[in-house]
């Protein structure tokens, strides 16, 4: 039986699963992608990240960029505190996740977060407006690699939070199969929401 590899044989800094491997390529912007400058709105009104109906939600409303990128703004409110007067780190990760998730619109496929890595570079006080940007870094098969940053004080301000993500392309059945039935039924009964969901139905 071959010997198990020793600890020292492992690379010192193994590549992150959220970093595109050499075989990944930049996918094309889908022909159906919203035009640059378009507000992408909410994919679901009760979503914590983007839903206008969520009382404590982040209400992120990203704007499509000219390439495989989006921008958004998010102002930290008192209900988002972790330490006194400071944004909760998990909450900031959610803001990154939501912004990264809107990249789905540019590829015109539904995809969910498989892995999300966040670096917190500086504390974010309540009342701060974060200027978020997310972009696709590659794709391979169903795997979509992306990155994001949140700058404080303006779009050219210092980076407060950085993230890298691996999203996995799924079928719409991912949501209908796994979601709580009463919530799914409400979505299926709502023509506006269904129209929004159908925009994704081309792939995979
Ligand atoms: C009618 C209703 C309308 C609804 C309209 C909705 C519209 C659109 C809403 C969008 C909403 C966005 C909101 C914000 C983004 C979230 O927050 S999404 C919520 C958080 N994420 C989740 O809940 C995902 C939970 N995980 C899963 O469901 C499953 O693990 C996944 C991710 C679908 C993958 O499962 P799978 O399809 O069985 O695929 P699997 O073969 O395991 O993995 C595929 C590949 O990815 C790799 N992979 C998977 N996970 C990982 C990982 N964690 N690390 C490394 N590699 C991984 C695998 O190794 C595999 O690689 P290859 O073998 O192809 O090289």
Q: Domain span at residue 100?
A: 23-171
Within a domain: 17: no
Q: For 90-141, how does the pLDDT look when each residue is reduced to its tens digit (9 = 90+)?
A: 999 999 999 999 999 999 999 999 999 999 999 999 999 999 999 999 999 9
Q: Which atom of ligand 1 is nearest to the CA of 47?
A: 13
pTM over 0.95: no
Calculate Rg over the CA atoms of the chain.
18
Is the pLDDT at 204 greater than 70? The verdict is: no
| pLDDT for res 200 | 62
Q: Is the beta carbon of 24 within 6 A of some atom in ligand 1? A: no
Identify which of 77, 71, 110 has the alpha carbon closest to the alpha carbon of residue 92.
77
Q: Is the beta carbon of 123 within 6 A of some atom in ligand 1? A: no
Within a domain: 159: yes
Q: For 34-43, how does the pLDDT look when each residue is reduced to its tens digit (9 = 90+)?
A: 999 999 999 9
Within a domain: 126: yes
Within a domain: 124: yes
How far, in Å, is the centroid of ligand 1 from the Cα of 110?
10
How far, in Å, is the centroid of ligand 1 from the Cα of 141?
13
Domain count, the chain: 1
Q: Is the beta carbon of 34 within 6 A of some atom in ligand 1? A: no
Report the distance separating Cα 120 and Cα 126, nearest Å: 15
Within a domain: 181: no
For residue 189, name the pLDDT band (cuts at 50, 70, 90).
confident
| pLDDT for res 132 | 98
Within a domain: 106: yes
ipTM over 0.90: yes
Within a domain: 196: no
CATH code: domain of residue 154: 3.10.129.10
Q: Which atom of ligand 1 is nearest to the CA of 188?
A: 1
Q: Is the beta carbon of 103 within 6 A of some atom in ligand 1? A: no
Q: For 45-56, how does the pLDDT look when each residue is reduced to its tens digit (9 = 90+)?
A: 999 999 999 999
Within a domain: 80: yes
What is the H or E stretch that residue 166 is in? Answer: strand 159-169
Is the pLDDT at 6 greater than 80? The verdict is: no
| pLDDT for res 191 | 74
């Amino acid at each position: 039986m071959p010997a198990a590899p020793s600890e020292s044989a492992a690379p010192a800094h193994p590549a992150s699963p959220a970093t595109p491997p050499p075989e990944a390529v930049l996918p094309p912007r889908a022909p159906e992608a919203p035009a640059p400058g378009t507000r992408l709105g909410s994919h679901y009104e009760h979503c914590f990240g983007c839903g206008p109906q969520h009382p404590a939600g982040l209400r992120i409303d990203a704007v499509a960029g000219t390439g495989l990128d989006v921008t958004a703004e998010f102002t930290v409110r008192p209900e988002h505190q972790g330490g006194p007067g400071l944004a909760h780190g998990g909450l900031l990760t959610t803001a990154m996740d939501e912004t990264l998730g809107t990249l789905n619109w540019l590829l015109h496929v539904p995809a969910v977060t498989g892995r999300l890595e966040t670096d917190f570079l500086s504390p974010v006080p309540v009342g701060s407006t974060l200027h978020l940007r997310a972009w696709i870094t590659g794709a391979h098969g169903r795997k979509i690699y992306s990155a994001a940053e949140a700058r404080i004080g303006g779009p050219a301000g210092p980076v407060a939070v950085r993230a890298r993500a691996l999203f996995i392309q799924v079928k719409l059945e991912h949501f209908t199969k796994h979601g709580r039935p009463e919530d799914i039924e409400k979505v299926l009964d709502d023509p506006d929401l269904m129209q929004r969901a159908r925009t994704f139905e081309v792939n995979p």
